Structure 1
């Protein structure tokens, strides 16, 4: 399986001052090695929209050769694709209406062409049953000027069906992706799902466990620096497997127990 590096941003909401109209909550874009849960690099922007220009800069500062870069639709830009390929990395990027011609070409392909591969992945948990069907298409004839997207080889459609046990309701969603890879639908399905580790295992944990959005670090680079420290602390907590408790319990034990704290920090 090719290693996935997920790129996504998070706004640190507590880092701005409401009474100061010039105060801005910093937006931190992170590159995460999804399988290891390791932050490879990060870059700060003043606004979420600035991530489009910041992502190439981030990609040029980390080692991504032979890895697969996954990004949400905000990162579906020709410059980002070019940067990934110039660093000998693969890409698998979500597509939405911000790239109208490309988005319509993928929808037409799904409607009119036969997929080169199909894979179904089922998952149960959190009071719901999820079914993800992945379709991979290698016929790109519906896309004009396809050469703009460097080394583009496949369109991907992910149909997600989620049944909620509590409400007995089912929701349906289809997402589209582009990639330079031509791999099996099974591998594609798994790699796209790995992308969401950056939301579920990093950003959500920073907010819920470490309560980052409530921290009022507003001076200089304090918010950005503390964000990096929290990521390092989270990695240490995740790597420690002998104390089989929640992350909050591990943090409390590290606070009260010097021996355990030193074990967490590999002393």
Structure 2
């Protein structure tokens, strides 16, 4: 099923009376504009006016490009859940995951999308991110950051995560959340902090005898990195979970415990810290180290890129429904940029999509030509 077939599954919420613009046409217009770097409704209208001939190669666009107000009103009326399902089904059909996927789940607040009620009503989104493929797999909004736990559970229920490793931060070290992951056939690596004091104390207690001997004899994996005037050594220790009976009963899916010891040296000063994780994985410290490390890809390769390249945190779309749809289109645009094989930065890909009709076509429909960013359009 192609891109337009997925969009055609979205129900048009408008009355059929005096309906001037086709819904699929408008969604394609907005998606193409966002892929090309447009950040607001006026820019989308301008893009459509200037690229109408290109748009008509793929869709009828029987009338003129609607005004920015009409575009915003149409997008605001779309039901978000069917749109999320349609677009991410299209994304997943293009995935080419090799080996066991590592899927990071985390939340992000769009700080610029503030409505008339103030900052407490900033749009907060939870996303699942395939850290190997670099693709956003799904998004779900929560009413506020404090509601993220339940939203993550809902996200887990709608993801295809069988045989994947799911990573999450300490907020989601919750019995019900881990049970849902296990029920869905997924493994997990989840950080543990003071929000679960009994579990954290049990983990520290099990590692303590080993620390007295510098971890000698523990399954471990060590890496060293150097850059930006800083040297970092990370050692991942893993052992079979032997929790007290009470903890074992409360956390039945935990198979192994992980400790990550980090030593950072910069300007002659060395800092040490240790973080703890629980996992359903068997003892394989190299795999555990990879899962812990790749969890941060959701920050570095999704959140950071959305803010710096797509300027998401500067978005001033205050209407919550419209902001959520626009955020979805940004994430799909990020996926399309990631999927395009040209070895250039995502920022350059956005510029190429803006300048080159052929490159923009490739972003949607795959590479069939050697599109040149500098070609005359």
Q: Which residue of 1 aligns with 2:128?
A: 31
> For residues 17-166 of structure 1, what are the structure 2 equivalents within 5 Å?
17=115, 20-21=117-118, 24-113=121-210, 116-142=218-244, 144-164=246-266
SS at match of 2:246: coil
SS at match of 2:121: coil
1:14–1:25: 8 Å Cα contact kept in structure 2? yes
1:119–1:189: 8 Å Cα contact kept in structure 2? yes
Gap change, CA 1:53 and 1:169, over 3 Å in 2: same
2:135–2:338: 8 Å Cα contact kept in structure 1? no
- 2:314, 2:118 → 1: CA distance? 19
**What is the TM-score of this pair, normalised by structure 1?**
0.91
- 1:148, 1:139 → 2: CA distance? 13
User: 2:110 aligned with 1:12, yes or no?
Assistant: yes
Match of 1:178 among 250, 274, 278: 278
- 1:125, 1:81 → 2: CA distance? 36
- 1:80, 1:91 → 2: CA distance? 10
Q: Which residue of 2 aligns with 1:221?
A: 321
Q: CA deviation at 1:254?
A: 1.4
2:126–2:152: 8 Å Cα contact kept in structure 1? yes
CA offsets, 1:192-247, max 9 Å, x none?
Answer: 111111011000111111110110111141221111111111122222233x4332
SS at match of 1:14: coil
Greater per-residue strand proportion: 1
Q: CA deviation at 1:168?
A: 4.2
Give structure 2 stretches of 5+ with no counterpart.
Answer: 1-98, 367-377
- 2:271, 2:287 → 1: CA distance? 24
- 2:229, 2:107 → 1: CA distance? 28
SS at match of 1:146: helix
- 1:168, 1:23 → 2: CA distance? 42
1:106–1:142: 8 Å Cα contact kept in structure 2? no
> For residues 209-248 of structure 1, what are the structure 2 equivalents within 5 Å?
209-242=309-342, 244-248=343-347
Q: CA deviation at 1:137?
A: 1.6
Greater CA drift, 129-138 or 198-207: 129-138
2:110–2:312: 8 Å Cα contact kept in structure 1? yes
- 1:103, 1:145 → 2: CA distance? 10
SS at match of 1:7: strand
Q: How many residues align?
A: 263
Greater per-residue helix proportion: 2
Give structure 1 stretches of 5+ with no counterpart.
Answer: none
- 1:238, 1:126 → 2: CA distance? 26
- 1:247, 1:234 → 2: CA distance? 8
CA offsets, 1:166-206, max 9 Å, x none?
Answer: x4433322110001111311111111111111011000111
- 2:234, 2:199 → 1: CA distance? 23
CA offsets, 1:45-102, max 9 Å, x none?
Answer: 1211211111111100111111111100000000101110111111111000000001
Q: CA deviation at 1:160?
A: 1.3
User: 2:366 aligned with 1:264, yes or no?
Assistant: no
SS at match of 1:132: strand
Greater CA drift, 222-231 or 121-130: 121-130
Gap change, CA 1:153 and 1:13, over 3 Å in 2: same
- 2:118, 2:107 → 1: CA distance? 23
- 1:262, 1:168 → 2: CA distance? 52
2:236–2:258: 8 Å Cα contact kept in structure 1? yes
Name the Cα RMSD after superposition: 1.9
